[in-house]
Structure 1
């Protein structure tokens, strides 16, 4: 059995990302997902899955955990998912590790306490934090630019089938993550200045995507795409002389014609787009809410035909 430790900051989005990456049924404890079939890259490719590996033992009894690891050497990484259980875990931790040798040179062992049970797991993968930090240092950025963590989360939630299209390209944050994840990528934007900046950002990381000028409400392309995008919100749309409702209606109508698999898009959580999605002949699979800062919470819509 495999385990994955997920982020509790946005737990439902993290659970959904793990299910998308594992592509199978996942059983959840608080902060941990369990699944049967090994899948390479579950943690490494993720935005919110911290680590993953092979379960050695799960039990409420520390003696059973100890029986599975006694006499072996590990580098121990304890974690109490729920802070209120910290004092209880201290005694269980010591009992679990009797007769276990510890060294930083030995394999990593996650010892996780959650929902009244201890999980001992041999860590196999970790989230690629380095690439996420690197992508945050792209040459062009501005207020409101989507961060690499949210961009990667959205691409993973889309379960890309072929080419990933972002019809509101902006500075290219989503395509950067799509390309890093190994997908073919296409970006459109009505603003030539944004296109040029996005090209520079992509070139900075040596990522190759097709990028062109075009309107999301009258897509100048043919074919089928998985679509991941971050349309303008509120004032940023109205400033360009486009009413927000008209923009989303036109965009969703166009998407319905070329969608292959899923559409994942971000919006201001203060507006509910489910009726507009339905009117375009699409269905909302789920909506995840991500707190960004005091003036913005994003709604991440996962949409299918």
Structure 2
């Protein structure tokens, strides 16, 4: 049995990311801030955006004595984790009982001791999120106002969880392609603006990544097939209403997705939360898997749609 420590400020998006990467929703049990699941999975936390760590469960109980029976006499580096702040005092009272007789040393394996929803989870940490790569990607040479951050970009790629290829038809400065390439996917990007493509090319080269780039309008079907489309189309102030209507732009995205996605392939896209695309999506033989909302600032909340080809 495995446990996953989810990002506290986005627990439901974190859970959705975990479900997508596991390809199985039926064996996941959720506690506040923690998911417990079965199976032998590797590199899930490392490649994630919102899963902080994953490990092997040693014991789960509401009685600290049960936990102590499993870990007493063994050597650990212990990382206590109280998910709900209101439980901090209660956990402090249980901690000494749970860890009685344990040998503490930084040279030993890391033990997560988690208190949530009235239970204690003790587990050996196996892998952690690669936060260094996310912070590195945040410092790409070319950026601009409204550029999607590395955490959200990686999240969207993971929500798509393609077999091999990722296509971004609104590449911008390449945030989504950077995360796709880092994970190891074959990546393709398109944009109508040649200047944006040059910036994307420079950003990719800066990190040593390679993706195919095409100058193309969304109205032009420039590729034949892909496992996933992951994109951040222009919306709000970034759309020039004189040249294109936002409704037409998104409708064309849905149309192209229906044409080029492989069976069960996913379209993951971001949009201003004020728009509701559910009815329009269903017109194009696409099914909505989930919609997730991220607050950015007082004038914009972002909705991330996860859509699958039937």
TM over 0.5: yes
Q: For 1:234 and 1:15, locate their aligned partners in 2 and report how far apart those are by CA, in whole Å.
A: 29
Q: Are the aligned partners of 1:47 and 1:150 in contact in 2 as well (CA < 8 Å)?
A: yes
Please give the secondary structure, in 2, of the residue aligned with 1:130.
helix
Q: For 1:10 and 1:72, locate their aligned partners in 2 and report how far apart those are by CA, in whole Å.
A: 34
2:224 alignment counterpart: 222
Q: Are the aligned partners of 1:218 and 1:250 in contact in 2 as well (CA < 8 Å)?
A: no
| Moved segments of 4+, more than 4 Å | none
2:286 alignment counterpart: 282
1:105 alignment counterpart: 107
2:31 alignment counterpart: 29
The offset of 1:239, in angstroms, is 5.1
Q: For 2:290 and 2:219, locate their aligned partners in 1 and report how far apart those are by CA, in whole Å.
A: 23
> Which residue, out of 37, 44, 60, partners 1:58?
60
Equivalent residue pairs, number: 305
The offset of 1:224, in angstroms, is 2.9
Q: For 2:298 and 2:99, locate their aligned partners in 1 and report how far apart those are by CA, in whole Å.
A: 43
The offset of 1:212, in angstroms, is 1.0
Please give the secondary structure, in 1, of the residue aligned with 2:46.
coil
Alpha-carbon distance change, 29 to 301 in structure 1, aligned in 2, over 3 angstroms: same
Q: Are the aligned partners of 2:165 and 2:227 in contact in 1 as well (CA < 8 Å)?
A: yes
1:256 alignment counterpart: 258
Alpha-carbon distance change, 282 to 23 in structure 1, aligned in 2, over 3 angstroms: closer
> Which residue, out of 292, 296, 304, partners 1:300?
304
**1:20 paired to 2:20:** yes
Q: Are the aligned partners of 1:138 and 1:201 in contact in 2 as well (CA < 8 Å)?
A: yes
Q: For 1:292 and 1:224, locate their aligned partners in 2 and report how far apart those are by CA, in whole Å.
A: 30
Q: TM-score, normalised by structure 1?
A: 0.98
Q: TM-score, normalised by structure 2?
A: 0.96
1:9 alignment counterpart: 9
Please give the secondary structure, in 2, of the residue aligned with 1:161.
coil
* Residues 132-158 of structure 1: per-residue CA shift (max 9 Å, x gap): 000001100111100010000000000
**1:172 paired to 2:148:** no
Q: For 1:22 and 1:279, locate their aligned partners in 2 and report how far apart those are by CA, in whole Å.
A: 29
**Which 5+ residue runs of structure 1 have no aligned equivalent?**
none
Please give the secondary structure, in 2, of the residue aligned with 1:248.
helix
The offset of 1:104, in angstroms, is 1.4
2:213 alignment counterpart: 211
Please give the secondary structure, in 2, of the residue aligned with 1:141.
coil
Q: Are the aligned partners of 1:249 and 1:280 in contact in 2 as well (CA < 8 Å)?
A: no
Q: For 1:264 and 1:131, locate their aligned partners in 2 and report how far apart those are by CA, in whole Å.
A: 22
The offset of 1:22, in angstroms, is 2.1
